Amino acid sequence: MKIIAYLKPHCGWSRGVRAVMAKYNLEFEDRDIWNDMNQRIEMIQKSGQELSPCVEINGHMLPDISGDEVEAWMLSQGLVKANQAAVDVPTDRGCSDEEHAAQRGEIPVQFKG
């Protein structure tokens, strides 16, 4: 199986896709669309849209998809067999505001009322 995942280094959705790949012990190309503009352009050209993650499996593009959705699609196609292996991150959500701030090196501001 050939898998190309267009992901951001620090993104809840991207971490979810990586977790699903690890759950099934799948090898994949992790394309960094945050630091490599060429990868981002390729993702947009192949998927027809700008949202990530996008995962291409055996030439079939799954645009703007969560880890849960990637897993469900692979199961429906018979590409993997269901397993109950635990994952270490949520596979169905993005980052919280606090996680985004931490990734940018910002200190969250707390107001006292």
At residue 73, the pLDDT reads: 98
The mean of the pLDDT values for the chain is 89
pLDDT recorded at residue 36: 96
What is the C-alpha separation between 33 and 21, in angstroms, rounded?
18
Q: Which amino acid, residue 71?
A: E
Here the tokens at position 70 are 């990637």
Residue pLDDT, tens place only, 2-50: 999 999 998 899 999 999 999 999 999 999 999 999 999 999 999 999 9
Q: Write down the domain spans for the chain.
A: 3-103
Classify strands 54-57 and 29-32 as parallel, antiparallel or unpaired: unpaired
pTM of the model: 0.84
CATH number of 3-103: 3.40.30.10
